[in-house]
Amino acid sequence: MACHECDLLNQVPALAPGATARCIRCNNVLCRNPPNSIERCLALTLSSLFLFIVANSFAFLKFGTPGNMRTTTLATGVVSLWEEGQSLLAALIMMVGIIMPGFLIVLGLYVLLPLYLGRKVPQATDVVRLTLHVREWAMVEVFVVGILVAYVKLAAMADLVPGVSAYAFALLMITQAWTNSSLEPRIVWRRLAALS
């Protein structure tokens, strides 16, 4: 296995549960064997699905002055930006806040649920490769940081009350980051190969 940091080829033996393989030159982590990796990632992905549905179904933000409060959801915010001529910003928010996180969750469920049940689905290896690329674009954490910055700047101009959706997005950020750190591609590849 080639080290991601120094490109040295290392021989990696079968790892015991909980063990980590490191590069012999730079001590970079090559791979891990976390116990119950598939089960943990499936549970986190199902949690992400629930939070994603909540985040896109309920009020995201209430803002305005006392007696004149407006409620917005993420989708209505995207539509408002589009109508105001901010089409690029609307498309970006739609992509990183709605489309890519949802797509990542669907891809994860497509592979992890059958693996957990001991089955292999068609094109599973292609979906795993696609998942590894898509997770770079599902930037919920960047979106949440942007929300916090906007909240601080707008708080002086109007009353802002975060809705259920805002809290769900913050939790979605945690579950997706946790899934990304828990998912060990080598374990997924090995389980898929065993089912072939």
> Is the entire prediction scored with pTM above 0.95?
no
Question: What is the per-residue pLDDT across 114-135, written as a single tens digit (0 to 9) for each?
Answer: 999 988 889 888 998 898 888 7
> What tokens appear for 188 in the block?
């997924």
Question: What is the per-residue pLDDT across 7-20, written as a single tens digit (0 to 9) for each?
Answer: 888 888 888 888 88
Q: Cβ contacts of residue 107 below 8 Å, gap of 6+?
A: 127, 130, 131, 134
Predicted confidence (pLDDT) at residue 35 exceeds the cutoff of 90: no
The secondary element (H helix, E strand) that includes residue 94 is helix 87-94
Q: How far is the C-alpha of 57 from the C-alpha of 132, rounded, in Å?
A: 27
Question: What is the per-residue pLDDT across 48-102, written as a single tens digit (0 to 9) for each?
Answer: 999 999 998 998 888 777 777 788 888 888 898 899 998 998 898 888 888 988 9
Q: How far is the C-alpha of 142 from the C-alpha of 170, rounded, in Å?
A: 11
List the Cα angle 140/142/144 in 5-degree steps: 70
